[in-house]
A and B are shown apart, each in its own frame.
Chain A
């Protein structure tokens, strides 16, 4: 069993829709939870991170962590065609990159 599971999609939504992206994980010791966005043929870029449980909002993006269910989510409101990308979840035990585990990524297409 993979430590981090993420539905690869693809997910296709119309412009303006609310998008929900999710990951589940098996290691209850993970403390830091990140979401990366990766455009085609590019390297990933950090969107946002959350420490432990709770919600975090940044503009149209909201990250949620439910440690009791070992489940994290990224919501995108008022989705735009420019949001079309692959979204990777990542998580780590401690405050450094060395043990970070990534999900396989969900490919999202937002249609005009």
Chain B
């Protein structure tokens, strides 16, 4: 099993550009989520999905879109990048989405917006 994979590992964007961060898992997990991690802020939930076709907003959803067409994939879209979106982005999956489940995190995407 590859676990949770994320691409790209690094990305530099200019303000106003769009891009999609890819996330895939091969553990047949229903629950997937996107977090951003900023210095001094901890992890913050952007969007999550409890299954294919179902998504919802987390704590900091503004500026991001998601979709879940398959169980395996959960891409995160930045429609018009802003410097405030410079961060490290983590995708995670778990079997049930409960707090005490093991969440499997991907290796992260380091995004810089100039």
Closest residue of chain A to B31, judged by CB? A97
Q: Tell me, yes or no, whether B74 is within 8 Å of chain A by CB.
A: no
With A88-B43, A104-B40, A105-B42 known as contacts, the answer to whether A98 contacts B56 (CB < 8 A) is yes
- Interface of B with A (CB < 8 Å)? 4, 31, 33, 39-45, 48, 56, 58, 90, 92, 94, 97-108
Interface on A for B, CB 8 Å cutoff?
Answer: 4, 6, 8, 32, 34, 41-46, 49, 51, 88, 90, 92, 94-98, 100-105
Contact between chains at B90 and A43 (CB < 8 Å): yes
Report A51 CB to chain B, min CB distance, Å: 8
B99 touches A6 (CB 8 A): no
Selected from A34, A49, A88, the residue in CB contact (under 8 A) with B42 is: A88
Residues of B within 8 A of A97 (CB): 31, 33, 45, 48, 94, 97-99, 101, 103
A42 contact set on B, CB distance < 8 A:
105, 107-108
A44-B90, A95-B99, A102-B44 known, 15 other contacts, Cβ within 8 Å:
A32-B100, A41-B107, A41-B108, A44-B105, A45-B105, A51-B100, A88-B43, A95-B100, A96-B97, A97-B98, A97-B101, A97-B103, A98-B45, A98-B56, A100-B99
In the bound complex, CA of A100 to CA of B48 (Å):
12
Selected A-B contacts with CB under 8 Å, 22 pairs: A32-B100, A34-B99, A41-B107, A43-B4, A44-B105, A45-B102, A45-B105, A49-B99, A90-B99, A94-B99, A95-B99, A96-B97, A97-B31, A97-B33, A97-B94, A97-B98, A97-B103, A98-B45, A102-B42, A102-B44, A104-B39, A104-B41
